[in-house]
Each structure stands twice: as C-alpha cells, then as structure tokens.
Structure 1
C-alpha cells in the first residue's frame, strides 16, 4: 500500500509539472502583444439587479471612457431598489445611454440570461463589451484595449476581471488567489487552442456570434453561466483572443464574508458540469491532482516513507509553481498573494471540495 501511495505521488507530481511547464507557462511567459486601436462603434452592456449604489459609484468610469463611438446599454433586471431611478438620472445627462427595463415574466423569472438577451437585442452596434454593475474599469482606455483584439477572425475577447485589494484580510487574498488561478487557466488554455470560459466582468464578443449560437438558448434553463457557458459553447481556437494589458482590467467589489463568498462560488462552480467533456476532464484532472498532491505528501511525510525523494519532488513542484504563477501574478498585478501560495492553495481546494459536496446535496441560489 505504501508503494502504491508513493508511486501515485510521483505520478501526480509529474502530471502537475506537465501542466505548469507546457500549459500554464504559455500565458505566464507570454509577452504583451501591441495591437492597433480600433474605431468601430461598440455597445457596452451592463446588467444590474438591485445595484443602485454600485452604479452611482462605478458607472462614471464607463461613461468617461476614451473611445470615439460607444453606447452604454443599462439593463434594469426587475430591481427592487432605486436602480431604475439611478439609471434614468445618468441617461438624462448622457445621450449615449440606452435603458432596457426588464420586468419578471413567469417563464424567465430571475433569469439574468433573459435580461441580457433583451439588452443585446436593444443594442445598436455589432461589437459588444460586457461588465457588471459592481465593476470599475481601471483606466479610461478599457474599451480601446479590449476591442483592439477584434479582427476578421476574432469574435470573442477574454479579459481579466480583478477584485479590489483589502488590507489585512485573508478572505480577500483567497478570493484574489482563486481569481488569479482561474485566469491563468482560461488564458493558458486559450493559448493552446482550447478556450473554455470567460468572466462576465470583462468579456467582449460580436452580436453575430451571439445570434449564430441562438444566444443562450442551449443553456437557458441553467440560471448561471451567461458568461462561461456561452464562451464554452461558442469559442474556438480560431475565433477567440485574450487581452491582459494593464489598462484593460476591470476591478470588482469582493465579498467580505466567507458565507457570502461561499454562496457566490456555489453558483459559479455549478455551471462547470455543463462544459464540454474535454474541458471537464482537463479541469477535473487539475483539481484532482492538486488535492491528491497535498493529501499524499502529507501521508508520506507523516510516515517518513522515502522522505528524501518525497521532499525533493515536493520542493520541485512548489518551485515550478512559484515560478509560473509568480510570472502570471506579475502580469495581472496580484504579486502580494504569491508569498502565501501554499496556504492559499490548501484553503482553496478545501473550500472547493466543500462546495462540490454542498452542490450535490442541494442546488445553489442564483442571480440575487
């Protein structure tokens, strides 16, 4: 049995080294590509549900974008607060804002995809850029940076949606670490020709791609996944690009309690079972190997079985991980969390396992 555990540990470390060196390094050591800015008209689409205060705070950063021709489609998704009043106030002072006021209908009650579909249909431009009401572009060149990657072949652009840094908060570091790891994965898989997801906080695609796929119809009954499930369905190695210039980032307000974050991640993780089979296999292998790495190494260290070799493999894996993740963290301005990498990784895989078990027991809530 000890031999089985030992050789399983060697196999796990080998698989992880392959992932780090052949896949994740594709993004980690990728140089920023300078692309010529475009001037075609763009529709920025923001779906808001009970987001009055966030719109007051963050919408001006979208309105003040340095781009020659864009409209902002603001979707009020049956809000119960003052969201519609706030939207109307901004519309009265900015002539490039279009309001889509969505009321609940029985067939699509509480379904963000229904609201987004109405917003997309109401938009007047062919290039669509999405963010959330609690997001702020980090620069006035956000639209310019994201749309610069569109061309005759590229119909989808995957961006990075960061979270605001909160000092002396372990939860905040955990949230940003999970966001960093997710970005490394979807950016890296895109670079090897297997794009599988994007985040709605910072995502662009063409209206033609949306209507060619019949919108969200293939997963309309799955209440989450207006971003990742759509990308999973439509993205190919030929029609997808990534954008990771520092001026292209958006920054969101993170959860400040474990309970709220746990609830949010339950919704996000629940969509993964609807991914294409190859994506599910690759992602499951990443998680399983990470979990087994920590479990098996702990067992082998505890019984001091071939501990010198186990320690060497343990350190090799950590060094490569630090090297690859560190380069990506520098690109995405998340350097401060790398120092806690092993601790954050253990906490994250534990939380993900707990979320997976909870989702098996009961379905998570969706879209506020």
Structure 2
C-alpha cells in the first residue's frame, strides 16, 4: 500500500511538472515582446454601480491617458449613490466622455451584462478596452500598451489586473498570490493556443467578437462571467493574444477581510463550472494534483517511508514550481509574495477546498 502511495506521488509530481514547466513556463520563461504602437481608435468602457467614491478618484486617471484617439464610455447601472451625477459632470467637462444611463429592467434586474451590452452598442469605436470602476491604470501608457497587441488576426487581448499591496498583511499577500497564479495559468494556456479566461479589470477585444458569439446571450441568466465566460466562449488560438508589459497593468484595492475575499472567490469558482469541458478538466486536474501532492508528501514523510527517495521527489517539485512562479512573479511585479510560496500554496489549497464545499450547499451572490 505504501509503495502505491509513493508511485502515486511520483505520478502527481510528473503532472505538476507538466503544468509548471510547459504550461506556466510558456508565460514564465518567455521574453516580453515590444509591439509597435497603434493609432487605432479605442473605446474604453467602464461599468459602475454605486461607485461614486472610486469614480471620483479613477475616472480622471483614465482621461489622462497618453493616447491620441479614444473615448471613455461610462455606464451607470442604476446607481443609488452619486455615481450618475459624477458621470454627468465628466461628460460635460470632457468631450471624450460618453454617458450611458441604465435603468432597472425587470428581465435583467441587477445584471451587469445587460448594462455592458448597452455600453458596447453605444461605443463609437470598433476596438474596446474594459476595466472596472474600482480600477486604475498603472501608467499613462495603458491604452497604448494594450492596443498595440491588436492585429488583423489578434482581436482579443488578455491583460493583467493586479491588486494594490498592503504592507504587513498576510491576507493581501495571499490574494495577490492567487491573482498571480490565476494569471500565470490563463496566460500560459493562451500562449499554448488554448485561451480560456480573462479578467474584466483589464481586457480588450474587437466589437465583432462580441456580436459573433451573440454577446452574453448564452449565459445572460448568470449574473457573473461578463469577462471569463465571454472569453471562454469567444477566444481561440487564432484570435487571442496576451499583454503583460508593466505599463499595461491595472490596479484595484483588494478585499481587506477574509470573509469578503471568500465571498468573491465563491463567485469566481461558481462561474468556472460553466467553462468548456477541457478547461474545467485542466483546472480541476491542477488543483487535484496540488492537493494530492501535499497530502501524499506529508503522509509519506511523517511515517518516514523511504524518505531518501520521497524527499528528493518533493524537492524536485518545489524547485521547478518555485522557479516557474518566481519568473512569473518578476514579470507581474509580485516578487514579494513568491518568497512565501509554500505557505501561500497551502493556504490557497485549503481556501479553495472550503469554497468548493460551501458552494455545494449554497449559491453565491453576484453583482451589486
């Protein structure tokens, strides 16, 4: 029986090495290529619901972008605070701002996808760049960097939506580690020709891609997934690329309590159950092998079974995983979390287990 467990550990490590070396490595070990700036007209789209405070801070940063031809489409999704009044002020002050007012619709009440659809239709330009109302670009070159990846064939661009650093906060490091791991995974698969998700905090695509798959119609009943479910449906090897230059990042404030973050993760995980079968399989396989590696390694080492063989297998796995994630952390400006890699991985595994079992017994709440 112990021999079977040992060989199972070897099999699990082989699968893990495949992910960290070949899948994640497609992103981690690749060199960033500088694209020539484009001058294509861009419509930046921001959907907001009760985001007056963030809009007051971040909309001016969007208008300061160093790009010759863009409009800013601000969508107010039936806000109850001062968001609409702020948006009306921005529209009066700057001719590049277009305001879309969304009133509650009985069929689509509280559905962000309905509001986004109206904004996409109202945009005057074919190339669309999305971020959230609580996000801001890391530089004035954000539009230029993201739009430079568009070509005649590449009509979907996946960007990195980061979270701000909070000093001396373990939760903040865990959130940023999970965000970095998720991005490394979907960037890696995209570069392998199997794109499966993107994040609405930093995402761009040509409007024709939206209408090609009939927008959000196939998952309109789900209140989440305006970013990842859309990309899972529309993205293909031929039409998708990634952008990870540090000038292209967006940042937002992360959750500050474990409970808030846990609720957010429940929404994300519930949405992933609607991915294509292969994407659900590869995500499930990665998590399962993470969990099995931890359980088998602890079990075999704790009973001192053939430790001279078990320990090298464990060290090999950690060496390649830590190295791969270290290169990814450097690209995504998250170096400080990688020093905690084993601790972060264990904490994340148990959080994901908790999310999985909690979602079985209750449904998470979506959009505001």
Q: Same fold (TM over 0.5)?
A: yes
Q: Tell me the TM-score normalised to structure 2 length.
A: 0.99
Measured in 2, the distance between the counterparts of 1:199 and 1:110 equals 20
* 1:64 is aligned to 2:60: no
Measured in 2, the distance between the counterparts of 1:112 and 1:306 equals 55
Measured in 2, the distance between the counterparts of 1:22 and 1:122 equals 42
Residue equivalent to 1:96: 96
Residue equivalent to 1:79: 79
Measured in 1, the distance between the counterparts of 2:103 and 2:301 equals 59
Deviation at 1:91, TM superposition (A): 1.4
Residue equivalent to 2:105: 105
Residue equivalent to 1:233: 233
Summarize the alignment of residues 342-361 of structure 1 with structure 2, pairs less than 5 Å apart.
342-361=342-361
Residue equivalent to 1:132: 132
Summarize the alignment of residues 1-368 of structure 1 with structure 2, pairs less than 5 Å apart.
1-368=1-368
Per-residue deviation, residues 276-315 of structure 1 (Å, max 9, x unmatched): 1011111111000001111111111111111121111111
Gaps of 5+ in 2: none
Measured in 2, the distance between the counterparts of 1:187 and 1:229 equals 16
Per-residue deviation, residues 250-299 of structure 1 (Å, max 9, x unmatched): 01110000011111111111111110101111111100000111111111
Measured in 1, the distance between the counterparts of 2:88 and 2:179 equals 33
Measured in 2, the distance between the counterparts of 1:135 and 1:271 equals 21
Measured in 2, the distance between the counterparts of 1:104 and 1:305 equals 63
Deviation at 1:178, TM superposition (A): 0.3
Gaps of 5+ in 1: none
Q: Tell me the TM-score normalised to structure 1 length.
A: 0.99
Measured in 2, the distance between the counterparts of 1:155 and 1:218 equals 21
Measured in 1, the distance between the counterparts of 2:253 and 2:168 equals 16
Query: Is the deviation greater in 85-94 or in 268-277?
Result: 85-94
Per-residue deviation, residues 93-139 of structure 1 (Å, max 9, x unmatched): 11111111111111101111000001001111000000001101000
Aligned length: 368
Measured in 1, the distance between the counterparts of 2:363 and 2:227 equals 20
Deviation at 1:4, TM superposition (A): 2.0
Per-residue deviation, residues 72-108 of structure 1 (Å, max 9, x unmatched): 1101111111111111121121111111111111110
Deviation at 1:344, TM superposition (A): 0.5
